[in-house]
Amino acid sequence: NANAPGTAVPREVWIGAPAAAEHRVAAALHRPPFSDLSVRSRASLHSHAASRPLARGILVVLEGAAILSVVLAAAGLVLIAAADLADERPHLDDLEAMGVPPRTLRAHLLVRAAVLSVAGAIGGVVLGAVLSAAVVDVVQLGAGTSAAVPPLRTAVPIGLVVLALTA
């Protein structure tokens, strides 16, 4: 196909059917004149790919890295808040001596930590999306350094992003 485009004989056909109609389409493809075809569904391909040890291992490593990054981010936030408290201690003591209640000072420190963590989370999600798009544009997965078929595209799961930002 790469050397002489248009001369190849198609060896496969992809049928885009909704998940609800997948069984009806598969049943129709098992009847003549299509009964000689080899039919594989999206679900069977997905389960086959997910059952492979390398795929499972990669997913475990990525999940572990995600959990570790959340733990490190939380530890970093605690350390920054502790360092901020140590740096601001003289000013906080002055404010308390002027009559500001300790409850108000604690609320002030919590708001500062919250603003810092929200800014970090939003920045992390935006940077992650930008780097994902950049990597997908650069990576070539096809044989012989050709473009992957079908082409790769960046998919940002909005529900997962909202869940991550909420957490």
Average pLDDT over residues 21-42: 83
pLDDT digits (tens, 9 = 90+) for 94-125: 988 999 898 998 899 889 888 988 888 888 88
pTM for the whole thing?
0.58
* Tens digits of residue pLDDT in 120-147: 888 888 898 888 888 887 776 655 666 7
Q: Shortest CA distance to 109 belongs to which of 91, 135, 128?
A: 91
| CB 39, CB 26: distance < 8 Å | yes
Summarised one tens digit per residue, pLDDT across range 43-76 is 787 888 888 888 889 889 989 998 998 899 889 8
Beta strands in the chain (DSSP E): none
